[in-house]
Amino acid sequence: MILRFGTSAIWRSIPASFPSPEQRWFHLYIGKKPVMFPKSKDGTPMGPLTQISSAVSYSMVLKTLMSTFNTVPLDLIERIADSTTSIFVQLVFVLAVPNIFSYTIIFAPAFIHTIKIIEEYFEEMSLCISSANFDHSVFIRDNICDLKFKVELNRALNEVTIEYGGLKYRQERAEHIRKECLRKNEPGILHRLWPTLAFASTTIGASFTMYKNEIKYYCGDKLPLINMLIYCGSEGFYGSLASIHTNEYFLSPISTFFEFIKEEDIHQSQPKTVLISEIMPGNRYELVITTEAGLVRYRMGDVIDCTRFLSRADDLIPLPAEPAEIPRIPLISVAYRVGSLLDVFGEKTTEQHVMHALKETVDQWKNQGIYVDLCDFTAYTKLDDFPSKYVIFLELTNEQGHEIDDQQLQILQNSADSEVEQQLCSANDSYQLNRKVHKLGPLVCVLKIMSSQSIPIYRRPLFSTSTVHDDLFDNYDIVIIFHSSQNFSKMNTIGYVNPYFVATIDDQISFTSTSKWNDEEWIIRNIPRNAKLLVKVCNKNEKGSDDNYIGEFEILNIINYDAPPNGHIIIDSYGQHKGHFHLSINSKKSSNESQQLPRYTFDGPCRYSRYDFLPINHHTERIYSTWT
């Protein structure tokens, strides 16, 4: 019944010229095989509410029905373990369909994330569609090894497109996608990709209001953006959408028993509650629910606005034609949650979670003899990275009487990401789960050490969208000079070592040297400030067999690099020291020109090599790039 109310609100408000709801919808589906869910002691599957359709056994009829109306069979999605790969596959399927009627993603940050993926990978997506072959995708090549499963995905994609015209249609559709995605900085990408799209839907109330303008930009003027159809949580269903023109919901007392705490009493440990018949328009209340079974009573943390009572003039739901007394039905909207949130996939990281993680990390540093205090912080979700990640701008001050030296600063910069991440995983189980399955990428900390008299530079709001602090998340141009290596341990009985190295930045750009190098210079533009350099050193085997691995080292802070006096220690797989490596790095903020380039752009130098073309005995020169 809740679903019927919400559906009625949508279709009563949309013009008759829009397509019928019998067309396919797109609902981003996050699922996995039932056997992959952790179980409670009594065998109950545990996981986020968004994965309930995987955890709970549906009848085959219902599952087939869901797959028919969605753009991709659900059993295929459940077999893709990597989250970003799963999203990519689902987006390819929905892009292959020209006339979906709805585009629905539960959480607003995840909604934006899907658009970012389309903008970044539309060329790969177009190739997959035109050929009905997912091998054009780097995600598929890297994360799906089962050849039979790839064949199944390709067959399913081909079957989706056959009803629209097969090969000719696929080529035309792929060209349309390319054309629209190349129109950079133009609003309405969703409407342009699917002109008959009836509406887009995501959670845009409460703390998600901050994302509304960005999502409306992607929708454009012609595509309605509406709040989520159902107001619900893991504890139960609370209500249904009242109108597409507001964020209001009907509460559903038949599925949940509601109580309400007045806003001024929220911070009390045992506040008094009022019933649904006692709340009044113009006031705010924290929601308290008791489940249908009556076993558990929850303080939800959701603070709602009682906006008004339903009246005949509202025309929100069908009312009796004959005059009748209308029940006292309150309409509500979600105002905010108690405690600010970072929330991409429902992990609901609060300010308290982050504060706990930072305080625990600072205490660990003090135990190591690095005496700093937490001054302030700002955090946001970076949605244009794949996968999305948290970024925390962290201000520290020197504890009175203790100055941080360069070595201690290096320790802080090298350890902040991993230590804050570990503490945040400990504080928030849902965040830990999303990190474990790679739905969220590793957290990034940007450190600033202040004197005790300094004014904090990273100010409120503590939590924000990806656009607010992009000026602080600068990109850089760097010059790396690989000087030399020395002091190698013996690799064979005569002690001969013929070393070369493989340097990689963030698995995005790499270089393999020759066995002789001296002050090699490499220039890379437009790298993120949190980029990491990994250098692996190997011994070249001239006899043609496999080369020997010597060891490696990693530089976690390229931008603020400070070369160790004795060089970097090369460490092998067993933690043994195998030699030293010397390099230097110079960096500067990317210019406006550099920022227009793709990330990790190689900018020289190019090398020239000579080779003989034996059939005509002619010497030629060719340019080759040594950084790939």
pTM, full prediction = 0.57
Binned at pLDDT 50, 70 and 90, residue 381 comes out as confident
Q: Is the pLDDT of residue 261 over 80?
A: yes
Average pLDDT on 512-517 reads 76
Binned at pLDDT 50, 70 and 90, residue 136 comes out as very high
- Classify residue 283 by burial, with Cβ atoms within 10 Å: 0-12, 13-18, 19+: middle
Tokens of 290: 């008791």
Tokens of 219: 């929708």
The per-residue DSSP string of 91-116 comes to HHHHHT-S--SEEEEEEHHHHHHHHH
Amino acid at 119: E
Chain centroid to Cα 514, Å, comes to 38
250 vs 71, residue with greater confidence: 250
Q: Is the pLDDT of residue 270 over 80?
A: yes
Judged by DSSP in three states, 324 sits in coil
Q: What is residue 424's predicted lDDT score, i.e. its pLDDT? A: 92
* Residue in 82, 102, 85 with CA at minimum distance from that of residue 94: 102
401-442 pLDDT, tens digit each? 677 777 888 888 888 899 999 999 998 888 898 888 888 889
The per-residue DSSP string of 340-408 comes to -EE-SSS--EEHHHHHHHHHHHHHHHHHTT--EEEEEEEEEEETTSSS-EEEEEEEEEEPTT----HHH
276 vs 43, residue with greater confidence: 276
Cα gap 64→53, rounded to integer Å = 12
Q: What is residue 544's predicted lDDT score, i.e. its pLDDT? A: 57
**What 8-state DSSP symbol labels residue 248?**
-
Judged by DSSP in three states, 74 sits in helix
Tokens of 554: 């990693």
Q: Tell the residue number behind the tokens 């829009």, with chain if given.
A: 18
Average pLDDT on 310-329 reads 60
Q: Is the pLDDT of residue 368 over 90?
A: no
Binned at pLDDT 50, 70 and 90, residue 40 comes out as confident
Tokens of 499: 């070393």
* Residue in 306, 320, 260 with CA at minimum distance from that of residue 286: 260
Least confident stretch, 57-61, 107-111, 120-124 = 57-61
562-582 pLDDT, tens digit each? 888 888 888 887 667 888 889
Binned at pLDDT 50, 70 and 90, residue 175 comes out as very high
- Any residues with CB less than 8 A from the CB of 359 and at least 6 apart, and which? 374
Q: Are 274 and 260 in contact (CB under 8 A)?
A: yes
Average pLDDT on 370-389 reads 81
Cα gap 101→99, rounded to integer Å = 6
**Residue-level length of the chain:** 628
Q: Are 97 and 24 in contact (CB under 8 A)?
A: yes
Amino acid at 465: T
Q: What is residue 619's predicted lDDT score, i.e. its pLDDT? A: 38
Cα gap 416→421, rounded to integer Å = 8
**What 8-state DSSP symbol labels residue 45?**
B
299 vs 595, residue with greater confidence: 299
| Residues of the chain above pLDDT 90, percent | 21
Q: What is residue 613's predicted lDDT score, i.e. its pLDDT? A: 36
Binned at pLDDT 50, 70 and 90, residue 22 comes out as low
Cα gap 120→154, rounded to integer Å = 22
- Any residues with CB less than 8 A from the CB of 68 and at least 6 apart, and which? none
How, if at all, do strands 230-233 and 225-226 pair?
unpaired
Find residue 299's DSSP bridge partners: 288
Tokens of 44: 């109950």
Binned at pLDDT 50, 70 and 90, residue 366 comes out as confident
Cα gap 241→203, rounded to integer Å = 11
- Classify residue 144 by burial, with Cβ atoms within 10 Å: 0-12, 13-18, 19+: buried
Q: Are 44 and 354 in contact (CB under 8 A)?
A: no
Cα gap 394→219, rounded to integer Å = 35
Q: Are 404 and 457 in contact (CB under 8 A)?
A: no
Judged by DSSP in three states, 513 sits in coil
**What 8-state DSSP symbol labels residue 134?**
G
Q: What is residue 37's predicted lDDT score, i.e. its pLDDT? A: 65
Q: Angle 326-332-336 (CA atoms, 0-180°, nearest 5)?
A: 175
Q: Is the pLDDT of residue 56 over 50?
A: yes
Least confident stretch, 62-76, 266-280, 614-628 = 614-628
* Residue in 351, 583, 310, 366 with CA at minimum distance from that of residue 460: 351
| Residues of the chain above pLDDT 70, percent | 76
b/e code 110-135 from CB counts within 10 Å (16+ = b): bbbbbbbbbeebbebbbbbbbbbbbe
Q: What is residue 626's predicted lDDT score, i.e. its pLDDT? A: 41
**What 8-state DSSP symbol labels residue 39?**
B
b/e code 46-80 from CB counts within 10 Å (16+ = b): ebbebbebbbeeeeeeeeeeebeebbbbbebbbeb
Cα gap 104→114, rounded to integer Å = 11
The per-residue DSSP string of 337-359 comes to ESS-EE-SSS--EEHHHHHHHHH
* Domains of the chain by residue range: 2-226, 247-338, 349-379+392-455, 475-625
* Residue in 231, 223, 154, 233 with CA at minimum distance from that of residue 187: 223
Domain 475-625 has CATH 2.60.40.150: yes
Quote the radius of gyration of the chain (alpha carbons, Å): 29
Cα gap 442→428, rounded to integer Å = 15
Q: Is the pLDDT of residue 3 over 50?
A: no
Q: Is the pLDDT of residue 314 over 50?
A: yes
Q: Is the pLDDT of residue 354 over 60?
A: yes
71 vs 97, residue with greater confidence: 97
Q: Are 505 and 600 in contact (CB under 8 A)?
A: yes
Binned at pLDDT 50, 70 and 90, residue 4 comes out as very low
Cα gap 133→130, rounded to integer Å = 8
265 vs 211, residue with greater confidence: 265
Q: Is the pLDDT of residue 444 over 60?
A: yes
Binned at pLDDT 50, 70 and 90, residue 316 comes out as low
336 vs 65, residue with greater confidence: 336
Q: Is the pLDDT of residue 493 over 70?
A: no
User: For residue 8, how many other CB atoms are within 10 A of its CB?
Assistant: 16
Average pLDDT on 439-458 reads 69
Pick the CATH number of 349-379+392-455 from 1.10.3470, 3.30.300, 3.30.1480, 3.30.379: 3.30.300
Q: What is residue 464's predicted lDDT score, i.e. its pLDDT? A: 45
Q: What is residue 8's predicted lDDT score, i.e. its pLDDT? A: 47
